[in-house]
Amino acid sequence: MKKLFSCLLAGLLLATANLHSHAQTVQPGGGTLFTVSAQPSYSAFQQGVYHYDMGNVNKARQSFQKTKEQDPRHAMANVYRALVSPSPEDFSLYLQKAKENLETANEFEKLYYTYAETFLKDDWETRLATAQKMVAQYPDKARAYLLLGDTYNQADEPEKARSNYQKAIEMEPAWAAPYMQLTFSYLLRNPTDIKQAEKNAKKLVSIAPEGSTYVMLGDVYRAQNDFTKAIEVYSKGIQMDAALPQLYIKRGHAYTFSGNFDKARADYQQAGTIDDVPINAHSYYATTFVYQGMPEKAVQTLLNDAETITTNMKAPQAMVVKDNFYYQAAFICMHTGDVQQLKEIIARYKPVSLAVSNQTGTAEAKLQSKADMLFWEGIVKTLEKDFTGTQKNADEMKVLLEPIKNPRKLAPSIFLRGYTSLHQKDYAQAIAHFEKISKEDRYAMYWMAKAYEGQGNTAKAKALYKDLAAFNFNDIGNALIRNEVRKKL
């Protein structure tokens, strides 16, 4: 299950700036009016917006922090600083600072603040309404269409997302950000289109030939099973920007899928030394052991890292890191059926999850934390064949999540029902549940394939396995199933 704050970090949000009295008005990429009270703060802010648009979070965070030091009342610098925060506590803090300085903001900036604020409650419905209002009031601003595209992307509506990204490109063809989002969409959102992804990635590199754009081009080659070419492209990016963690992480993925685990781990270690928030680097390092058929070692690595790398972190960030690592470890134990280890992890996980939700400070975040724990406790009940107990957990999750205005909110409880039905060998019911989950949840699609297999429908099972085997992007679910599904072809 994805956390509220995890969803926030995953969203590539694009922002504007504050309008102070006696301000200077400028127009960076996206066509949105950015206004600041002094030239020095504008310079730092402009750099932050550029790095943010390009996905360079470390540099963006540094630039927005510098902007705030030069202009403490810069509302949109606080919004941006919130969006690159390493913890929900920081996110809430900087959004509050932005709110305190909105009185002189222009209308677009106020709308953007409202857009960002919706992540505190996972309120996708208000986010959509706000993005639509942006487009309606500012139909000549490319950034408004990009935000609307992002919003549709979050709800698994790729065609609407792509239409808005394309509109942003038509309005500002030299702006890199919509090409980046469009490439990502064609690579990972169904229906995928590798030719369109490659076309947009190459255009992206031609517009902005720097490390972050080579990340996207390398991903295109990795999607095509050309790991050698992908490694070459990521390496070229590293030559351009050796301080960008994503390049080492992505090259590590290419090494992982080509079976060179020592080089993969070396790249993940390097990424961890230069990333301000090294969650992904350590998670992927542990994941290499799963691909090698050593899930127990992966779990132990994650549990050790949860204690060792958080020692010198501030408490809020340490909680986020632990939350992530416990989630990954629990996921592995669910798949391997290690009930005793899973119970031990849940005991550590539960207070950490609650602490992270308390950082966000909203009722919705706390409900999400409770639902998360019901999910994992439901998995334990299923593995122990307490199917009635699992059903009660799924029902309680549904009730808890009712106030959250996100169309995908029930996916975890639906997965739990499907997972339980499969373990009861009620394959038809399992399939009915899994069909309600996004096809982009490939781990759920793996279990649907297992249900088809159990039902004797080998054609549908094999079609799903074929799709899963071709997926060359890295997450814990893919790590757990990749070797198995490739053997089934």
Q: Which residues of 267-285 are buried (b: 16+ CB within 10 A; e: fewer)?
A: bbebbbeebebbbbbbbbb
How does pLDDT run across 385-415, given as a tens digit for each residue?
999 999 999 999 999 999 999 999 999 999 9
Query: What value does the mean pLDDT take over residues 44-51?
Result: 91
Considering the four listed CATH numbers 1.25.40.10, 2.60.120.10, 3.30.1380.10, 3.40.50.1370, the one that applies to the domain covering 1-122 is 1.25.40.10
Q: Token digits for 431? A: 């399939």
CA atoms within 13 A on the CB side of 397: 27
pLDDT at 9: 44
Q: Token digits for 437? A: 């989950």
Which residue(s) pair with 35 in the sheet? 25
Report field, pTM of the whole predicted structure over 0.85: yes
d(CA 286, CA 297): 8
Cβ contacts of 224 within 8 Å, gap of 6 or more: 194
Query: For residue 26, what pLDDT band results from cuts at 50, 70 and 90?
Result: very low
Three-state DSSP class for 35?
strand
Mean of all residue pLDDT scores within the chain: 93
pLDDT at 10: 43
pLDDT at 105: 84
CB 60 within 8 A of CB 80: yes
In this predicted structure, the answer to whether residue 25 has a pLDDT above a threshold of 60 is: no
d(CA 305, CA 40): 40
How does pLDDT run across 202-256, given as a tens digit for each residue?
999 999 999 999 999 999 999 999 999 999 999 999 999 999 999 999 999 999 9
Neighbour count for residue 93 (Cβ, 10 Å): 18
Antiparallel, parallel or unpaired: β 24-26 and 34-36: antiparallel
d(CA 458, CA 464): 10
Which residue(s) pair with 26 in the sheet? 34
